[in-house]
Amino acid sequence: MKKIIAFLANGLFFITGCASFAPMRSAQVAPGFSGDVKLGMTSSLSKEAYWLYDAGSDCPLCDSKPIAVSEVAFRYGIKKPGARGIQLGLVGNDMDAQLEFFSEVRQRPAWKLGGGLRLGLPLVASWASHQLFVVYERRLGENSTFCYAPGIYYHTGHSPNCMNHGSLFLLSQGLGLEFSTGLVSLTPAVTISVGNATVNIADEGQSSSMDVILAGSVSISLHRQSAN
C-alpha cells in the first residue's frame, strides 16, 4: 500500500492543482495509517480567482480557466472502544500542504457526523489554504454511503516577487457517494462553492470578483484497518 500511495503522490505533485474546496472524506476514523489520492477539475474561475493559482504568470488577470484538483493525504487515526475517534493527517498538492485534525462527533448505526480543521503550510510563494469543515454520512447499502460536507475555504498569499497578493474566501457544499470494498473505498463527488476573490496587483490596484465554482472529483482511499 505504501508503494502505491508514494507512486501516486509523486505523480500528482507535477500537476497544477489545488486542494479540494470541500474535503470529501468519511465521517468515521479508521485506526492506524491510511491514505487517499484525489483528482478532479473545476469550472472556469474568474480572472481574479484563477490568478491565485497561477501567481507566477507574466500576465496577471489575463486568464480565466478551470484548474485541476489534485490532492494526496496521509493520516493516522486513534480509536478506542467507547470513545470518539480522532485523526491527524498531512494533505498536500502542488500549491501548499495542510495539517489536518479530524474528530468523530456522533456515530449512529444509520448515520455518522464528524468535523475537521485544515491549516495551510505554504510551499510555493507563500500561498496557503485553510479550511473548516463538517462531514455527515448516511449508509445507503452494505457497501455504499452518501456523504455531505459543508465547509469554509480560505486561500491567501503573494507572488514570488512579493509585489502582488490576494485571497479567496468560499462557502462550499460537497456531495459524494462512497463505495467500499474491504479496506479500499472509491468516492466520486461534486462541490459547489460561492465566495469572493480579491487581488492587489502592483501599479494596477485592487480587483475583486464574486465566484461560483463547480468541481467534480474522484478519490481512492486505502486503510490498514476498518473504521467499523
Asked if residue 77 belongs to a domain, the reply is: yes
pLDDT at 63: 79
Residue scoring higher pLDDT (152 or 69): 152
- Beta strands 111-122; 96-107: pairing state: antiparallel
For the chain, what percentages of helix, strand and coil (3-state, to nearest 5) are there?
5, 60, 35
Range 166-193 average pLDDT: 94
Asked if residue 6 belongs to a domain, the reply is: yes
Q: How many CB atoms lie within 10 A of CB 20?
A: 32
- Give which of 66, 68, 54 is closest to 18, Cα–Cα: 68
CATH number of the domain where residue 169 is located: 2.40.160.20
pLDDT at 58: 58
Asked if residue 113 belongs to a domain, the reply is: yes
pTM: 0.86
Residue scoring higher pLDDT (83 or 171): 171
Range 94-115 average pLDDT: 92
Number of domains in the chain: 1
Q: Which residues contact 88 (CB under 8 A, 6 or more apart)?
A: 75, 76, 99, 100, 101
Asked if residue 206 belongs to a domain, the reply is: yes
pLDDT at 95: 73
- How far apart, in Å, are the Cα atoms of 146 and each of 12, 26, 131? 27, 10, 21
Asked if residue 110 belongs to a domain, the reply is: yes
Asked if residue 228 belongs to a domain, the reply is: no
Range 147-164 average pLDDT: 89
d(CA 58, CA 195): 26
45 close to 87: Cβ distance less than 8 angstroms: no
Asked if residue 39 belongs to a domain, the reply is: yes
Asked if residue 156 belongs to a domain, the reply is: yes
Q: How confident is the model at residue 90 (pLDDT cuts 50, 70, 90)?
A: very high
Main-chain phi, psi angles of 17, to 5 degrees? -165, -175
Q: Which residues constitute the domain of residue 179?
A: 2-223
